[in-house]
């Protein structure tokens, strides 16, 4: 058995038939640093469109860190830094400065043609102006603890939509309803849309956060242990929701619950001590793991 953590040059991850067709998002050789502490070592993660990709691994192995790289939420904190490439639809999003000329071109094109461009794009570029915010609108995130905004259920969902689009009342009503239906929450809240989101139960709050995340139509939805604070029934509902969402979105989920990964994920990555040890179709990873570490973990021998 080789101990990957101790080798000076990390062995490449075992990539079982990675889904290289149809990738929407891809991390390539990503190192991550919390100040001087390195938390990720050359991590690769291919994310296939319209699939659920799960990340598993023992506590502290860097699953949350990897998610936080994918939508660059870490950039809020000075001192945190990522090296490598994160490619979203063919664009490297880790190095925004390279994209500035692209953005300028886009703006001037919109200005010149007036009508030539899709009006939503125009709004996005002009109103928000920073491509970091735009990136985050394309890669949504749901956190471990539900985080409803201090406003009504309706406004929780409308909030994100309003930032990028001007909608009529009727259109917004429809967007809110669709998002709540997709998150399997509509029936429970349709009569109290204007009461505070904080008044819902924990499980409902979490589904509200999912609804809020998908209302802005991101390409990828990242979820960090979304079910860890939920009871089994809420968890089952959330899982159903995710499988349903797969038709329109791409989902990356961090979970400590191996059964959950086995149930819903199409692809699974196993991480250990900041490295991607093995990645592949969920069945292969659970039934025929190529790495001893993976086998020990999925059979419950450590972690």
Partner 1 sequence: MLGRDFLRNLVNRLFITACLLATVAAITALVFILWSLVVQGIGGIDLDVFTKDTPPPGSEGGLLNAMVGSLMMCAMAMAIAIIVGILAGTWLAEYGGHTRYGAVVRFLNDVLLSAPSILVGLFVYELLVRPFEGFSGYAGAVALAFLATPIVTRTTEDILNLQSHALREAGIALGTPKWLVTRKIIWRAAGAGLLTGGLLGFARISGETAPLLFTALNNQFFSADMTKPMASLPAVIFQFALSAYDDWRRLAWAGALIIAVVVLSINIIVRFIAREKKHA
Ligand X SMILES: Nc1ncnc2c1ncn2[C@@H]1O[C@H](COP(=O)(O)OP(=O)(O)OP(=O)(O)O)[C@@H](O)[C@H]1O
Region binding ligand X by CB under 6 A among candidate stretches 54-62, 112-120, 188-196, 212-220: 54-62
Minimum Å distance from CB 42 to partner 1?
26
* Chain Cα centroid distance, residue 192: 29
Angle 63-225-75 from CA coordinates, rounded to 5°: 50
Q: What DSSP designation does 98 have?
A: G
Residue 62 binds which entry of partner 1, ligand X, Mg ion, none, CB below 5-8 Å type-dependent: ligand X
For position 61 contacting ligand X by CB under 6 A, the verdict is yes
For position 143 contacting partner 1 by CB under 8 A, the verdict is yes
Among 258, 187, 249, residue whose Cα is nearest residue 227: 258
Q: What DSSP designation does 12 have?
A: P
For position 64 contacting Mg ion by CB under 5 A, the verdict is yes
Region binding Mg ion by CB under 5 A among candidate stretches 59-67, 74-82, 192-200, 291-299: 59-67
Minimum Å distance from CB 5 to ligand X?
12
Residues 6+ apart with CB under 8 A from 99: 91, 92, 93, 131
Q: Can you tell me which of 42, 46, 62, 160 binds ligand X, judged by CB under 6 A?
A: 62
Nearer to partner 1, 38 or 147 (CB): 147
Pattern 199-238, binding to partner 1, x per CB under 8 A?
Answer: ----------x--xx--x----------------------
Rounded Cα distance, 109 and 175, in Å = 29
Nearer to ligand X, 29 or 257 (CB): 257
Side-by-side strand order, sheet with 37-48: 37-48, 23-34, 80-88, 91-92
Minimum Å distance from CB 56 to ligand X?
9
The residue nearest Mg ion at its CB is 64
Nearer to partner 1, 216 or 285 (CB): 216
For position 103 contacting partner 1 by CB under 8 A, the verdict is no
Nearer to Mg ion, 64 or 156 (CB): 64
- Site residue total, Mg ion (CB under 5 A): 1
Side-by-side strand order, sheet with 267-272: 14-15, 275-281, 267-272, 52-56, 250-254, 220-224, 139-142
Do residues 179 and 215 make contact, with C-beta atoms less than 8 angstroms apart?
yes
Rounded Cα distance, 158 and 161, in Å = 5
* Range 61-89 burial, b when 16+ CB lie within 10 A, else e: bbbbbbbbbbbbbbbeeeebebebebbbe
- Site residue total, partner 1 (CB under 8 A): 30
For position 145 contacting partner 1 by CB under 8 A, the verdict is yes
For position 106 contacting partner 1 by CB under 8 A, the verdict is no
Question: Which residues are near ligand X by CB under 6 A?
Answer: 34, 37, 39, 57, 59-65
Question: Which residues are near Mg ion by CB under 5 A?
Answer: 64
């Amino acid at each position: 058995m080789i101990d990957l953590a101790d080798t000076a040059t990390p062995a490449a991850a075992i990539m079982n038939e990675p889904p290289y067709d149809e990738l929407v998002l891809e991390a390539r050789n990503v190192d991550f640093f919390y100040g001087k502490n390195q938390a990720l070592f050359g991590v690769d993660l291919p994310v296939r469109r319209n699939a659920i990709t799960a990340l598993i691994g023992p506590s502290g192995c860097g699953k949350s860190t990897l998610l936080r790289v994918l939508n660059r939420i870490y950039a809020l904190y000075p001192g945190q830094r990522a090296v490598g490439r994160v490619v979203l639809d063919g664009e490297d999003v880790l190095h925004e400065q390279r994209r500035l000329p692209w953005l300028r071109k886009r703006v001037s094109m919109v200005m010149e043609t007036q009508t030539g461009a899709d009006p939503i794009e125009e709004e996005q570029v002009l109103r928000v102006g920073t491509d970091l915010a735009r990136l985050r609108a394309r890669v949504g995130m749901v956190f471990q603890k539900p985080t409803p905004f201090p406003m009504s259920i309706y406004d929780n969902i409308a909030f994100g939509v309003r930032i990028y689009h001007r909608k009529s009342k009727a259109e917004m009503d429809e967007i809110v309803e669709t998002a709540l239906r997709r998150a399997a929450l509509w029936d429970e809240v349709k009569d109290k849309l204007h009461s505070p989101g904080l008044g819902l139960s924990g499980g409902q709050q979490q589904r509200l956060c999912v609804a809020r995340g998908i209302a802005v139509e991101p390409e990828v939805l990242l979820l960090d242990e979304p079910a860890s604070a939920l009871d089994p029934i809420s968890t089952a509902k959330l899982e159903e929701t995710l499988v349903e969402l797969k038709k329109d979105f791409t989902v990356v989920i961090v979970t400590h619950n191996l059964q959950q990964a086995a149930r819903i994920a199409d692809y699974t990555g196993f991480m250990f001590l900041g490295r991607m040890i093995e990645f592949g179709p969920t069945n292969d990873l659970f039934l025929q793991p190529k790495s001893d570490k993976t086998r020990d973990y999925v059979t419950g021998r450590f972690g």
